[in-house]
Amino acid sequence: MGIVNVTPDSFSDGGQFYSAQQAIEHGLQLIHEGADILDIGGESTRPGAAPVSDEDELARVLPVLEGLREGRVALSIDTQKTAVMRAALAAGADMVNDVNALQAPGALAAVAQSNVAVCLMHKQGEPQNMQQLPLYHDVVEEVKAFLRARIEAARTAGIASNRIVIDPGFGFGKNLEHNVALFRGLPSFQDLGVPLLAGLSRKSMLGKIAHLEVNERIHASVAAAVLAVMKGAKIVRVHDVKATLDALAIVNAVEGWSDD
Ligand code: 9MG
């Protein structure tokens, strides 16, 4: 899953792809590099990010969805907002990536009334305050319990299991210790019975471990993506598609995995 941010303040690309045309060109480049899914987002979820209105978010993402619709890859809309989900689905999005796990009023129904896939992610707190004091007794068990409950809520609303993907939400209300524990515990998320997505690309946990600024984290991101796949992730959300796929090709060749 290649990341297409259409935000002026994205933490890891400095808002480089803010204009619709630049975002479309970036998306086409990620398709060329081998992305199967593009995740298009118009509201930054980085720690401290300010929320944007429905109107502003839609004005950012809809032209990009439109411009990438013929790209022959699945298009995911990265949003927490029900109105944005509904408009993006009407515009042809194939997936909803919701860092709020469809907890907003009407979000479950919006996805249930479509036939698209959904990623349910765990977070503690909100982007504005989530890194202030994240607290868990057992981060792996608590994140799993939350995701289990959200899978159940989605199924009850009419979203079949084969449309659901889960994500432990690295960096979303987690300190370094929590993130490392979750990473170690990734294999146990397979107990939840749906595919696992992992988003580690250029995140601050990598910077903290390897002492890297955000623009120096490509190699660490590739290592993290490979390790996540080896621990069971079926989708990795990344900025650096080609570098990640090159590394995964080596692992696939040695481990004998099939192409999918
Ligand atoms: C939007 N976004 C930013 N980081 C993310 C992550 O780790 N997972 C998912 N699903 N979305 C993310």
Mind listing the pLDDT tens digit of every residue in the chain (260 residues)?
A: 999 999 886 544 555 556 899 999 999 999 999 999 999 999 998 887 888 999 999 999 999 999 999 878 999 999 999 999 999 999 999 999 999 999 999 999 999 999 999 999 999 987 777 677 889 999 999 999 999 999 999 999 999 999 999 999 999 999 999 999 999 999 999 999 999 999 999 999 999 999 999 999 999 999 999 999 999 999 999 999 999 999 999 999 999 766 55
Protein residue whose Cα sits closest to atom 4 of ligand 1: 199
Mutate to test the pocket of ligand 1, among 40, 99, 194 (most ligand atoms within 8 A of CB): 99
Q: Are 101 and 148 in contact (CB under 8 A)?
A: no
> Which atom belonging to ligand 1 lies closest to the Cα atom of 200?
7
Long-range contacts of 100-108 (CB under 8 A, 24+ apart): 101/146, 101/147, 101/150, 102/150, 102/153, 102/154, 102/157, 103/150, 104/80, 106/82, 107/80, 107/82, 108/153, 108/154, 108/157, 108/159
**Predicted local distance difference test score (pLDDT) of residue 11:** 43
- Closest residue CA from atom 1 of ligand 1: 78
Q: Is 68:45 a contact under the CB 8 Å cutoff?
A: no
Verify whether residue 123 is a known catalytic residue: no
The verdict on whether 237 is a catalytic residue reads: yes
| Number of neighbouring beta carbons within 10 Å of residue 212 | 17
Beta pairing, strands 95-98 & 37-41 = unpaired
Give the list of residues 6+ apart from residue 120 with CB closer than 8 angstroms, or none: 98, 101, 102, 147, 150, 151, 154, 164, 165, 166, 167
Nearest ligand 1 atom, CA 197: 10
Q: Which of 86, 150, 203, 217 is catalytic?
A: 203
The answer to whether the CB of 217 falls within 8 A of the CB of 196 is: no
Estimate the share of the chain in helix, then strand, then coil, as percent rounded to the nearest 5.
Answer: 50, 15, 40
From the list 181, 182, 226, the residue with the least C-alpha distance to 201 is 226
What local confidence, expressed as pLDDT, does residue 9 receive? 62
Instruction: Yes or no: say if 212 and 206 are a contact pair by the CB < 8 Å rule.
Output: yes
> Ligand 1 pocket test: which of 96, 121, 164 has the largest number of ligand atoms within 8 Å of its C-beta?
121
The predicted structure's pLDDT at residue 128: 76
| Residue in the structure block whose two tokens are 């992610």 | 121
Pocket of ligand 1 (CB under 6 A): 41, 45, 78, 97, 99, 119, 121, 167, 169-170, 197, 199, 237
- Report the nearest-CA residue for atom 6 of ligand 1: 199
Q: Which two tokens stand for residue 45?
A: 């979820």
Tell how far the Cα of 99 is from the centroid of ligand 1, in angstroms: 6
Residue ID of nearest Cα to ligand 1 atom 8: 199
32's tokens: 């060329």
Q: Give the pTM.
A: 0.94
Mutate to test the pocket of ligand 1, among 44, 45, 143, 205 (most ligand atoms within 8 A of CB): 45
* Cα 48 to the center of its chain, rounded Å: 18
